[in-house]
Amino acid sequence: MSGRRMTDRWNDDNKIFLGFNIKKKVLPTMYGGIIGDLMGVPVEFKKRGTFYINDVMGYGTYNQPPGTWSDDTSLTLCLVENIIEKGTINSLMDKFVRYRDSGYCTPYGETFDIGVSTSEAISKFKNGVPASNCGGTSEYENGNGAIMRISPLVFLLHNEFSFEKKVELIKQYTEITHSHPRAIVGSIIYVELLLRLFHNNSLEKSIKDISELFYENFNDNHIYRKELNHYKRIFEENFWEVPIDEIASDGYVVHTLEAAIWSLGNTKSFKDAILTAVNLGDDTDTVASITGALAGMYYKMDGIPEEWLAKIVKKEDIDHLIEKFYEFCANKAIVEEYGNI
Ligand SMILES: [Mg+2]
């Protein structure tokens, strides 16, 4: 065999390995987020201590059958589709309009849950405002509606080493519904954390590195440095020891991110991370969905209980879309590394 052909075969093997490595991370991040969402749906808004979830349940808050997922998953699936279609933020907002108004990307063709800021942004977009100007800008519009739908961005960014470029993309996808810098900083922390877990870093090291990133890239007066202060507990060494009574799990982006990271850091399995997050109460679906994406990336598919996966409503459609997404991401990674597929 000639040297050239040996190199080709070696490259082919490496491409297969690279593709497999991407699949290993896309699947659990996506399914982890969906599982967290559907586990939280029946008990959304319930107060901590008034219920206990230890399996996939149904009915409750929205009277939906077991395995029903909500806006967190629907809007994430819209982004997945939009990435595969190489769409823009405007084509993504078109999908959000279809979600809100026609039940697009929902389990049963009906929308039963949507955040106020997201709905207002969709209305602005329908009235002709460009997607980039649709997000709410006030301090009171810092809900978790952007972080709950952006996990797929990780698979566009894992080969991007410029923090500035990553921040730009994350900002662009956040501000279509949430334009306040606190929401944008929340999205940066969340995506950067997923990226570090993607690269197999420990949770502790990942968190430490993220605070350093902000300090290295933004000076004292930069608005993102100032906004980082609102998230400072996450970066404190004893964050895991914060008592549960001091962890809020409502829809404020700071609280949601704290609750999700705290749930992941205080448990040793995907299952326990999700159950801890759901049982915190309040914005259960989104807190557990964020926890689920992080825990999925961290524990991989082996960690996700098969009996929970089997209960996802419309699972075949989701399987099909996630498969297309992982193939897209794998091909993208291979082209970035080798120049061709
Ligand atoms: Mg929801």
Domain total of the chain: 1
Letter for the amino acid at 339? G
What is the CA(286)–ligand 1 centre distance, in A?
6
Alpha helices, DSSP H, located in the chain:
3-40, 71-84, 89-102, 116-126, 154-157, 163-174, 181-198, 203-217, 223-228, 253-265, 270-278, 284-299, 306-309, 315-338
What is the CA(299)–ligand 1 centre distance, in A?
23
CATH number for the domain spanning 150: value is 1.10.4080.10
Residue 4 — pLDDT band, cuts 50, 70, 90? low
Read off the tokens for 228: 């980082």
The phi, psi pair for 70, rounded to 5°, reads -120, -160
Contact, 121 vs 134, CB < 8 A? yes
What is the CA(285)–ligand 1 centre distance, in A?
5
3-class DSSP assignment, residue 337: helix
- CA torsion sign for 145, 151, 157, 161 is positive
What is the CA(69)–ligand 1 centre distance, in A?
7
**Is 0.85 topped by the overall pTM?**
yes
What is the CA(162)–ligand 1 centre distance, in A?
32
The phi, psi pair for 59, rounded to 5°, reads 65, -135
Contact, 188 vs 167, CB < 8 A? yes
What is the CA(264)–ligand 1 centre distance, in A?
20
DSSP 146: T
Residue 246, burial from CB neighbour count under 10 angstroms (0-12, 13-18, 19+) = exposed
pLDDT > 70: percent of the chain: 99
pLDDT tens for residues 79-131? 999 999 999 999 999 999 999 999 999 999 999 989 999 999 999 999 999 99
- Kindly list the distances between the CA atom of residue 39 and the CA atoms of 60, 61, 210, 292, in Å, as whole numbers in the listed order: 11, 12, 29, 10
Structural domain span for residue 10: 2-338
Residue 39, burial from CB neighbour count under 10 angstroms (0-12, 13-18, 19+) = buried
pLDDT tens for residues 247-293? 999 999 999 999 999 999 999 999 999 999 999 999 999 999 999 99
What is the CA(180)–ligand 1 centre distance, in A?
21
Query: Range with the lowest mean pLDDT among 194-198, 316-320, 335-339?
Result: 335-339
Write down the pLDDT at residue 62. Answer: 95
What is the CA(287)–ligand 1 centre distance, in A?
9
pLDDT tens for residues 33-89? 999 999 999 999 999 999 999 999 999 999 999 999 999 999 999 999 999 999 999
Position with higher pLDDT, 45 vs 341: 45
DSSP 199: T
pLDDT tens for residues 148-179? 999 999 999 999 999 999 999 999 999 999 99
What is the CA(79)–ligand 1 centre distance, in A?
16
Write down the pLDDT at residue 319. Answer: 98
What is the CA(74)–ligand 1 centre distance, in A?
9
